[in-house]
Structure 1
C-alpha cells in the first residue's frame, strides 16, 4: 500500500509539474493590423501559434459590438489576441513577423479600410513585452526598405473583448468571400510593394 501511495504521489506530482510547465510556456500577444480577419489568418499560419481570437481593444466602450466599433466612436481597434507556445516560437519572432503583415506607414488605417478601428498598434501586457516590442520597432526603423515613417503605436494593453462568433475564423468559414475581400482591398500587393515580400505567404 505504501509503495502504491508513493507511486501515485509521484505520478500526480509529475503530471502537475508537466502541466504547469506547459501552461507557463503559453503567452499571449495583442496586435491591431487593420481587418482582424486578415490578422487572424496571417498569424494562424505560424508554427507555435495555438490560437488567434479576433476582437476589440484600446477603447472606452465596454463589451462593444461590431456595429459600435465600426461607428468609429468607441476608441477601439479591431485587434487579435494571439496565444502561442514560446518554446516553439518567441515573442520576438512574432513581433518581427507582425511588421511584414501590415502597412506601418498609414496613419489613417489599413489598405481599403480607413478610420480609427483599422489603425495599427501593438499592445504590451507587461514590461518584458514592452521591451521586446520597442526593440523590434527600433530594428525595423533601421532596416526598413522604404523612406516613409512608421506610425504604428506601442500602447499599454486594455481589456480585450472577443468579437462576435461569426467573425472568428472568418477566413475558414467563408474562404471565397475572404479571398475576394483581401485581394480587392489590395492588402498583399501593398505589403509586397513595401517590404518586397508577403510574410504570411512563406
Structure 2
C-alpha cells in the first residue's frame, strides 16, 4: 500500500472516498478496533461515520473530563471538562486508522478552537483521543497532512484517551430514528431523523466544511 503521507491531496481524497458505502452491519466483528474523536455534535459524527465501509458501529458519548459518568445536561452546561465524543468501531481489514483520521479532519472545522459550527463551548470542541503510541503517531501524521493541504495550522488537539462514557440511549442513532419529539426547536411531533436533518442544515455544518475542504469534504451534503 502507498503510504498516505506520500499522496497528493487529490489522490488522498479518492482513497478516502473509496471507504463509502451503506453500513454493512450493526454487529461488532471479532477483529474490530476503535478510534475516539470529538467533532462537535456527536449525532453528526455518528451519522457521518456510520456511512463508511468497514465501520461497524459508532457510539455517542463523553470523554476528556473529570466527572465520572456524566449526564448530557452536565456536559453541555459546562464544568465537567468533557467533550461530546464518538467511539468508532471498525474492521482494520477494510479501512485503516490513518484513513479514518484523514476523514475525520475533513469532516470538521479544524481552525475552530471554541466549538464547532453553531455549537459553542467546551463540550463541542474538536479533538482526537489516542489510546496508544501508534494512534498518537497516526493522528499527528493526519494532522500534518491536513495542514499541508490547507496551508494553515490546525488547532484540533490530539489528547490521551481517558474513560469514555456512553451517552444516554436517547442520543444513540438519533439521525435515523423515527421516534417523534413532542416539542423541539425545529417543530412539533417531528421524527428525530427529521429534526436532526433540520438542525444540521441550520447549523451550517456542511456549508462550512465545503468552504474549507471543497471537493475533499467526504461527508458534506451526504
TM-score, normalization: structure 1? 0.86
Aligned match of 1:199: 218
Deviation of 1:72 after TM superposition, in Å, equals 1.1
2:208 to 190, 193, 201: 190
Provide Cα deviations, 1:53-85, integer angstroms capped at 9, x if missing partner. 000000000000000001111000000000000
Deviation of 1:114 after TM superposition, in Å, equals 0.3
Q: Relative to total residues, which structure has the larger helix share, 1 or 2?
A: 1
Q: Does 1:134 align with 2:116?
A: no
Provide Cα deviations, 1:88-111, integer angstroms capped at 9, x if missing partner. 000011010001110010111000
Deviation of 1:152 after TM superposition, in Å, equals 0.1
Aligned match of 1:177: 195
Aligned-partner Cα distance in 2 for 1:111–1:74: 21
- Paired residues in the alignment total 178
Provide Cα deviations, 1:22-75, integer angstroms capped at 9, x if missing partner. 62x310000000000000000000000001000000000000000000111100
Aligned match of 2:74: 68
Aligned match of 1:38: 44
- Local SS of the residue matching 1:196: helix
- In structure 1, the gaps of 5 or more residues are 1-21
Query: If you compute each CA radius of gyration, which structure gives the higher value, 1 or 2?
Result: 1
1:119 to 116, 120, 125: 125
What RMSD, in angstroms, separates the aligned Cα atoms of the two structures?
A: 1.1
- In structure 2, the gaps of 5 or more residues are 1-28, 178-191
Could you list the runs of 4 or more consecutive aligned residues of structure 1 that deviate by over 4 angstroms after TM superposition?
none
Aligned-partner Cα distance in 1 for 2:82–2:166: 12
- Local SS of the residue matching 2:90: strand
2:158 to 127, 149, 154: 154
Aligned-partner Cα distance in 1 for 2:83–2:97: 21
Q: Which has the higher contact order (CA 8 A, sep 6+)?
A: 1
